[in-house]
Amino acid sequence: MELNEVPFDGLKPIEGYGPGFFRIGGAVHEGAVVVLPGGVSEWGGYGDTATLIRAKGDVDVVLVGTGREIAQVPRAFREALEEAGLGVEVMGSAAACRTYNVLLGEGRRIAAAMLPAG
């Protein structure tokens, strides 16, 4: 089997995650995070749609990591993002991390907003 390194073109892949943290681009971030083309920052959770909506010119889809298990997101959160023209894909945070890296490697215009597991 031949393995190829995936080029991320300066963007930061999610390298790891665990109880209460994410490791992104070599730095550990505790708590909820949002990963955008412009960088990584703390995320205020479902009440913080403005951070994601501001990125709508650079992002087509937001992967929402709901923590350890997949869970429903509040209707107002989903509707606000969709009204701004953003696609919303909801999954557990571990799946969101893996999906983010695959799509990032494909050059897709994505963001990840994730709650930590545990």
User: pLDDT tens per residue, the chain (118 residues)?
Assistant: 654 555 555 678 999 999 999 999 999 999 999 999 989 999 999 999 999 999 999 999 999 999 999 999 999 999 999 999 999 999 999 999 999 999 999 999 999 999 998 7
Residue 94 falls inside a structural domain:
yes
Residue 96 falls inside a structural domain:
yes
Question: What token pair was written down for 24?
Answer: 């992104």
Which CATH number fits the domain that encloses residue 51?
Answer: 3.40.1230.10
CA dist 101 to 44, 106, 111, Å?
Answer: 22, 9, 10
pTM (whole model) above 0.85: yes
Is there a contact between 9 and 102 (Cβ–Cβ < 8 Å)?
A: no
| Count of domains for the chain | 1
List the domain range (segments joined by +) for residue 106. Answer: 31-115
The SS3 assignment for 19 reads: strand
Residue 23 falls inside a structural domain:
no
Question: In 3D, which of 55, 58, 65 has the Cα closest to residue 116?
Answer: 65
Residue 7 falls inside a structural domain:
no
Query: What's the CA gap between 115 and 93, in Å, rounded?
Result: 7
